[in-house]
Amino acid sequence: AQSVTQLDSQVPVFEEAPVELRCNYSSSVSVYLFWYVQYPNQGLQLLLKYLSGSTLVKGINGFEAEFNKSQTSFHLRKPSVHISDTAEYFCAVSDKAAGNKLTFGGGTRVLVKP
């Protein structure tokens, strides 16, 4: 069975500083990995996704993530955050064995401080 662990439940960060959100997954087969962002009182918006190919994936709003198969990780990074990046971030995995059932991590709340 697939599972996703987001190691940090909250990450406070100052404006213009870099941020990294950690995500580890467990799955025995090929996986499709996602990062979604949820702003307060909003739905989920896709930031980026990985299926195959280059392990460095670039997404919207300056975010990028790196797929590391040996470490089963898919960490999200942004070199310089803005106040507007304050939100909840969810890592999710989908694999063949589970059809298209997305399994979400517990979420990481990013609080950007001025």
Partner 1 sequence: DTEVTQTPKHLVMGMTNKKSLKCEQHMGHRAMYWYKQKAKKPPELMFVYSYEKLSINESVPSRFSPECPNSSLLNLHLHALQPEDSALYLCASSLSRSWNTEAFFGQGTRLTVV
Residues at the contact surface with partner 1, assessed by CB under 8 A: 32, 34, 36, 41-46, 49, 51, 90, 94-96, 98-102, 104-107, 109
Do 47 and 63 contact (CB within 8 A), yes or no? Answer: yes
CB of 77 to partner 1, least distance (A): 20
Residue among 42 and 80 whose Cβ is closer to partner 1: 42
Residue among 15 and 88 whose Cβ is closer to partner 1: 88
CB of 16 to partner 1, least distance (A): 27
Q: Provide the pairing of β-strand 56-58 with 87-95.
A: unpaired
Residue among 28 and 80 whose Cβ is closer to partner 1: 28
Q: Distance between CA 30 and CA 52 in Å, rounded?
A: 9
Q: Which residue has the tokens 């009182």?
A: 41
- The H-or-E segment that residue 103 falls in is strand 103-104
